[in-house]
Amino acid sequence: MLSFYLSLKKSAYYAFPVILTMSSFLFNGLAHAQNKADVREVPALKSIFDQYGVKGTILISDPVKNELLGFNPSRWDSGYLPASTFKIVNSLIGLETGVIDTATIFTWDGKKRRISAWDRDLTLTGAFRVSCVPCYQELARKIGVERMKNWVGKLQYGHMLITQQTLDLFWLEGDSRITPREQVNFLRRLYEERLPLSSKVMKQVKSIMVDEKTEKYTISGKTGWSIRNGNNYGWFVGYLETNGRVYFVATLIEPIFQEQISDFSMARKTITKEAFKMLGLIP
């Protein structure tokens, strides 16, 4: 009888953490369901994509209305390489770890590259704005595998596969993935300074993200362009500040005809702005 009692007590002991875990899971799931944003698809936005000969999706988050709106929501939870949108994260980690600061100069190595704007010494802001791949590859190597993996995990940034072999390429090639919804959620946590980083670092990166500033609105963000198995796709991720409100956005586009990409580079931001205009968010 004693052995049966001890066996029962032992079983209950090991079961208790499981019960707690399941309870936490159910509670978190319920909280998530209660806070789930409304989704509103705007079919008219398709005309903007058609105008530029691309297909894709746009997700705009309105925190005040707790609403997600845009086009083609079936792709909001599909994963893609982050491409150069990862420069936001790379900058944050580099600054937080002290590997770089805002006065850092990326010294040109003298090698000619496909984009002439990279062939010069660049500040951090300059490297970000011309999307200098070799500059940020150098930064990733200085951060190192373990610190990069640790910080990407802390920042809850998609699903990045970081090894010694992929350290300076994982956001451009391979099986790393992030979804439009994850991009938007990350940007909101950055904007609201809810990332596990110093407020100073988050403010510094938000400053270099400013892309367009007018009397009526400010658009901040980063483009990205990936070529995977011969297929091009591009990002614009960021946020719009206007009339005391902020809207977070992730736009992903692909050329309908992969061989026709002459206007593809500009289309990422242009489509985003045209969507804002169609929705009445900017003039």
DSSP E strand stretches across the chain: 38-41, 54-62, 67-71, 105-106, 122-123, 210-213, 217-228, 231-242, 245-255
Q: What gap in Å lies between CA 82 and CA 139, rounded to an integer?
A: 17
Question: Among all chains, which residue has been given the structure tokens 């309105």?
Answer: 62
Cα angle 141, 143, 144 (rounded to 5 degrees) comes to: 65
Q: Is 194 helix (H, G, I), strand (E, B) or coil?
A: coil
| 198 CB-near residues (< 8 Å, 6+ apart) | 96
CA 222 to chain centre: 9
What single-letter amino acid sits at 229? N
Set 84, 91, 131, 176: catalytic member: 84
User: Hey, is 49 helix, strand or coil?
Assistant: helix
Asked whether 267 and 281 are in contact (CB, 8 A), the reply is no
- What's the burial of 126, exposed, middle or buried (CB within 10 Å: 0-12/13-18/19+)? middle
Residue 61 is among the residues annotated as catalytic for this protein: no
Residue 122, both tokens: 């660049």
- Radius of gyration (C-alpha) of the chain in whole angstroms: 22
Q: Check if the beta carbon of residue 31 is closer than 8 Å to that of residue 235.
A: no
Match 């006065």 to its residue by tokens: 103
Q: Which residues pair with residue 40 across a beta bridge? A: 69
Task: Return the active site residues.
Answer: 84
